[in-house]
């Protein structure tokens, strides 16, 4: 009896201390961002926050120069994507700051120079933190998970399928956080594009359970951190098994 309760106690201490360390890492990132007078997290920072909450993201490394970008590309494995990391570039592809499908060293070197040139053209003195070398996520069904803090209702979660479904058809659904598993499942099934996730023609069904997990973990993240004003995981590539968040954006109050 005593042994059992001891086990329960030590297990709950473990869970508790794990939660505390997650909060610490994420709070540390947020403090650093605010300390630098920023509201927007860099993609690297936003993805570390996601990883702390077990939200799957593409593998990435931050290169400080061209040689390092090549080295990291070899480590990650081709094809890779290069992306600018700068506090002054929020929409990276708008300024030519993203080049995908790089298949070898030469591609990486060329893309590195091209992106720096593009960003300099956009803003000659833009502060550049580095170049993100990222695993190229195979294309698949794209979904979007978002959160927005409403002054009245607090944190609200959003779900939809990517591309035209969100942008043109506005086929999205919302719930006030925190949500339970049942609500996460409802969010997924109630969008009009849901049949696409169930699979059609020769398209296999998408991993619904992983989307549920991402929704629940996002709910926990924004509840733990009320200082998050907006969060966008867009797009998330969902596969038959597993998913990968390709771009993550977090804005603080």
Stretch that binds ligand ADP, among 32-40, 90-98, 106-114, 211-219 (CB under 6 A): 90-98
Judged by CB, which is closer to Mg ion: 70, or 248? 248
Q: Containing H/E element for 172?
A: strand 172-176
Judged by CB, which is closer to ligand ADP: 79, or 178? 79
Judged by CB, which is closer to ligand ADP: 144, or 177? 144
Judged by CB, which is closer to Mg ion: 229, or 249? 249
The C-alpha atoms of residue 112 and residue 195 are separated, in whole angstroms, by: 40
Residue from 220, 144, 222, 224 nearest 180 by CA = 220
Q: Helix or strand or coil: residue 169?
A: coil
Shortest approach of Mg ion to residue 219 CB, angstroms? 21
The C-alpha atoms of residue 229 and residue 182 are separated, in whole angstroms, by: 25
Task: Provide the mask over 151-180, with x wherever binding to ligand ADP is found by CB under 6 A and - wherever it is not.
Answer: ------------------------------
Residue from 61, 84, 64, 58 nearest 73 by CA = 61
With CB cut-offs between 5 and 8 Å by kind, which of Mg ion, ligand ADP, none does residue 183 bind? Answer: none
211: preceding bond cis by omega (within 30 degrees): no
**Applying CB under 5 A, does 142 fall inside the site for Mg ion?**
no
The C-alpha atoms of residue 89 and residue 97 are separated, in whole angstroms, by: 8
**Applying CB under 6 A, does 136 fall inside the site for ligand ADP?**
yes
The C-alpha atoms of residue 46 and residue 154 are separated, in whole angstroms, by: 21
**Applying CB under 6 A, does 247 fall inside the site for ligand ADP?**
yes
DSSP E strand boundaries for 21-73: 60-63
**Applying CB under 6 A, does 231 fall inside the site for ligand ADP?**
no
| Tokens 């590195």 -> residue | 112
**Applying CB under 6 A, does 61 fall inside the site for ligand ADP?**
no
**Applying CB under 6 A, does 42 fall inside the site for ligand ADP?**
no
Stretch that binds ligand ADP, among 69-77, 88-96, 104-112, 192-200 (CB under 6 A): 88-96
Q: Considering only residues 92, 149, 175, 225, which one is a binding residue for ligand ADP as defined by CB under 6 A?
A: 92
Q: Considering only residues 33, 44, 52, 58, which one is a binding residue for ligand ADP as defined by CB under 6 A?
A: 58
Q: Considering only residues 83, 175, 220, 225, which one is a binding residue for ligand ADP as defined by CB under 6 A?
A: 83
Phi–psi pair at 74, nearest 5 degrees: -65, -40
Task: Provide the mask over 221-250, with x wherever binding to Mg ion is found by CB under 5 A and - wherever it is not.
Answer: --------------------------x---
The C-alpha atoms of residue 215 and residue 236 are separated, in whole angstroms, by: 12
- How many other CB atoms are found less than 10 A from the CB of residue 11? 10
Query: Which residues sit at the interface with ligand ADP, rule CB under 6 A?
Result: 58, 81, 83, 91-93, 98, 100, 134-137, 235, 246-247
């Amino acid at each position: 009896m005593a042994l059992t309760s001891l086990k329960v106690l030590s297990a709950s201490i473990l869970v508790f201390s794990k939660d505390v360390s997650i909060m610490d890492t994420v709070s540390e990132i947020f403090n650093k961002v605010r300390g630098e007078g920023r509201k927007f997290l860099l993609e690297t920072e936003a993805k570390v926050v996601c990883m702390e909450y077990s939200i799957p993201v593409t593998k990435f490394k931050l290169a400080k120069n061209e040689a390092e970008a090549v080295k990291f590309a070899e480590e990650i494995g081709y094809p890779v994507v290069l992306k600018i990391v700068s506090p002054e570039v929020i929409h990276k592809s708008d300024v030519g700051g993203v080049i995908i499908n790089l298949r070898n060293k030469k591609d990486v070197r060329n893309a590195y120079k091209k992106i720096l040139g593009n960003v300099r053209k956009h803003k000659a003195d833009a502060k550049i933190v580095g170049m993100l070398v990222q695993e190229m996520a195979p294309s698949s069904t794209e979904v979007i998970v978002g959160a927005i803090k409403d002054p009245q209702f607090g944190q609200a979660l959003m779900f939809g399928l990517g591309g035209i479904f969100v942008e043109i058809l506005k086929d999205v659904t919302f719930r006030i956080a925190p949500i339970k598993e049942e609500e996460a499942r409802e969010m997924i099934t109630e969008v009009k594009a849901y049949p696409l996730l169930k699979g059609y023609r020769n398209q296999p069904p998408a991993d619904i359970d992983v989307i549920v997990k991402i929704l629940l973990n996002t709910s926990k993240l924004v509840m733990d951190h009320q200082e998050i004003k907006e969060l966008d995981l867009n797009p998330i590539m969902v596969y038959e098994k597993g998913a990968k968040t390709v771009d993550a954006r977090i804005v603080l109050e």
